[in-house]
Amino acid sequence: GEATTSDRRALAELCRLSDGLPLALELVAGRVGVRTPAEVVVNLQDRVDLLAAEHPSADGRQRSLQAVLEATVEPLDPRHRRMLGDLSVFAGSFPAATALAVAEDDPVAFQALVDAGLVLVAEPGVVDGERRYRMLDTTRAFASGLGQDDAGATAARRHAHHYREMAVELGWAMDTPHEGPALERIREDDRDLRAALDWWIAHEPAGALAFARAVGRAWYVWGDLAKLRDLLDQALVGATVGDLVTEEDLGWAHLRRSWPRFLTGDVVGGFADADAAIDRLTGVDEPVGAAFAFMGRAHMTLLSTADTQEAFEWYRRAIGEPRRSERPHLTAGTLVEAALALILAERADAEVDEMLAEAEAAFVSAGDDIGLA
């Protein structure tokens, strides 16, 4: 019969899972006649079943994807095979420098894998245009079985630490004029950041808190509130200041969890996280985080109680943090956000006018036409 919309979607997913490889597509096509496309998709999610499937009319090296890949890898030097196994920890695309930091630092072996077609050139980086590489998902599934368990565990640990360091670095760009490029970089490396987060949650949940400032902001912007809340719930359980966790990490984690809790119906929890963020971030004199924590507390007050006077006091404290630390751009942005929230709450008075006038002067001084608009 004619394919339904659901069937067409499943068939498109099967093409993706097969990496567009002719042999893989033939193997998949043979299964669709026995099962529905959607059922085949479920069975092929981890690619292992697809690797092992054999073509009924083929033999030797062409009988299965497993056999094809084994024949491709067989002539490689042992160190090249080890690197291929290490590279299987990457979930998405990656620059060569990152590959060499996570796997063996062996540029010759890396180039040999590229020459063999086991590592492919991907689209250039969206932020800096650097060359990036990727592995087909079927190749990755095959490569994950190469090498010794200890070597794979070492590569996975290096991968998790590398992307944790990246998240910390990107976190500094959040809530600043440089947020846009940082969000694009997170989107580009999202699959590997998520894989690294899963590693930390599985091995040492407190280590995931360092991701909160950057990844928490990105997932909030993209509306992935349930996943963000679940991640921070796991990371914050029993977390205390130590080798992997700073007071600032805890403050940002509470701040990033406050809105997902509030917006998913846990109003009390949202207020509790905002208050915890205020206590921790003011305690370590972190004015950027403190400003956003006070701002969040003010917004929550307006939305849940419509008490403009109480909200106004929280807004004053939010504005005071960047003012005190002489951050005019952040001060201007905070003034505008507070003024607009109060106007929408039908409080448009002289103090609100003063907020907007001060913000305007700051944006003009900084030559920021976007902020001024």
Amino acid 15: pLDDT: 58
- Closest residue by Cα to residue 182 from 206, 216, 156: 216
- Average pLDDT over the chain reads 81
Q: pTM value? A: 0.78
Could you give the residue ranges of the DSSP H alpha helices within 103-189?
107-115, 137-143, 149-171, 179-188
Tens digits of residue pLDDT in 298-322: 999 999 998 888 988 999 899 888 8
The angle formed by the CA atoms of residues 75, 79 and 83, to the nearest 5 degrees, is 105
For 39-92, give the secondary structure using H, E and C: HHHHHCCCCHHHHHCECCCCCHHHCEHHHHHHHHHCCCCHHHHHHHHHHCCCCC
Three-state DSSP class for 257? Answer: helix
> For 133, phi and psi rounded to 5 degrees?
-130, 165
In the predicted model, what is the mean pLDDT of residues 233-239?
A: 88
126: pLDDT strictly greater than 80: no
Which residue bears the tokens 């368990």? Answer: 149
The residue type found at 241 is V
Amino acid 335: pLDDT: 86
Three-state DSSP class for 132? Answer: strand
Percent of the chain exceeding pLDDT 90 equals 39
11: pLDDT strictly greater than 60: no
75: pLDDT strictly greater than 90: no
Q: Is the distance from CB of 91 to CB of 197 less than 8 angstroms?
A: no
- Closest residue by Cα to residue 13 from 36, 281, 1: 36
Amino acid 347: pLDDT: 81
Q: Are strands 120-121 and 94-95 parallel, antiparallel or unpaired?
A: unpaired
Cα–Cα distances (Å) from 267 to 144, 259, 341, in that order, read: 44, 9, 19
31: pLDDT strictly greater than 90: no
In the predicted model, what is the mean pLDDT of residues 311-334?
A: 86
Amino acid 279: pLDDT: 97
Amino acid 34: pLDDT: 45
Cα–Cα distances (Å) from 128 to 27, 125, 181, 202, in that order, read: 39, 6, 9, 32
Amino acid 62: pLDDT: 43
Residue 7 has, within 13 A of its CA and on its CB side, a CA count of: 8
Amino acid 119: pLDDT: 86
Amino acid 192: pLDDT: 96
Amino acid 268: pLDDT: 96
Two structure tokens written together for 95? 């620059």
Amino acid 44: pLDDT: 47
Angstrom distance (rounded) from CA 207 to CA 194: 13
Tens digits of residue pLDDT in 173-225: 887 778 889 999 999 999 999 999 999 999 999 899 999 999 999 999 998 89
